[in-house]
Amino acid sequence: MLNIGDTLNIEIKYSDSREKFKCKIVDKRGHQLLIDYPVSEKTGRTAFFLDGTQIKVSFFAKDNAAYMFESEIIGRIKENIPMIIISYPGQDKLIRVQRREFVRIDATVDIAVHPINDEFKPFTTVTVDLSAGGAAIILPPNHNFKPQTQIFCYLVLPLSNGEYNYIKAHSKIIRIIYGTKGTRDKAPIQFIDLKEAQIQQIIRYCFERQLSERKRGM
């Protein structure tokens, strides 16, 4: 899965900064990866992490999918070049997020829905599920929505570090799922032309939710 020379994306787990770093795998030794010193995507400068720093690591594999895992800075070593040692949980502990068929999670996220051409009054609601490709939302009573209606959606994604990501997504309604026994109608929606940074923000939120659910299950 991971090979020497692969690029890793690193983010400090407990940090007020949203700074991200890139590095390459120099060597693999059991449940440890040796990486070159990470470089900040924002400043281009080399980063220096303290031993014990908790990090989140992601990478893209040859199967066109994103994989993520939690890790820790174990130490540093100097051979041909200076390297940092990080923990690696093993291939069976990776969380996979497919880029073409994004993993969909159950999630109640605040969302505001606005018209493109004043077809309806803006309203706020919540999602039923969410992925980087779209969501399902609860519709207001007495709505008049139809499939293929295009809308603007504004999502608020709470992160584990206390920060929030705000996403504006040009979207379209795929179909209407009519409620039964007094339940509200729902609508699966598809996000259109999200930027890569927005996709990564949603993937990060889904990843954190998956980790949280997995820990609760343990």
Burial class (CB in 10 A: 0-12, 13-18, 19+), 139: buried
* pTM (2 d.p.): 0.57
From residue 130, alpha-carbon distances to 39, 71, 157, 158, 194 in Å are: 31, 26, 11, 13, 14
**46-90, pLDDT tens digit by residue?**
988 899 999 989 887 776 567 889 999 999 999 889 999 999 999
Answer yes or no: are the C-beta atoms of 107 and 127 closer than 8 Å. yes
Instruction: Select the more confidently predicted residue: 16 or 149.
Output: 149
Residues 6+ apart with CB under 8 A from 180: none
Domains and CATH numbers, the chain: 7-98 (2.30.110.10), 105-217 (2.40.10.220)
Q: CB atoms < 10 A from the CB of 17, how many?
A: 11
- Say whether pLDDT at 17 is over 70: no
**142-192, pLDDT tens digit by residue?**
899 999 999 999 999 998 888 899 999 999 999 999 988 889 999 999 998
Q: Shortest CA distance to 65 belongs to which of 102, 98, 101, 94?
A: 98
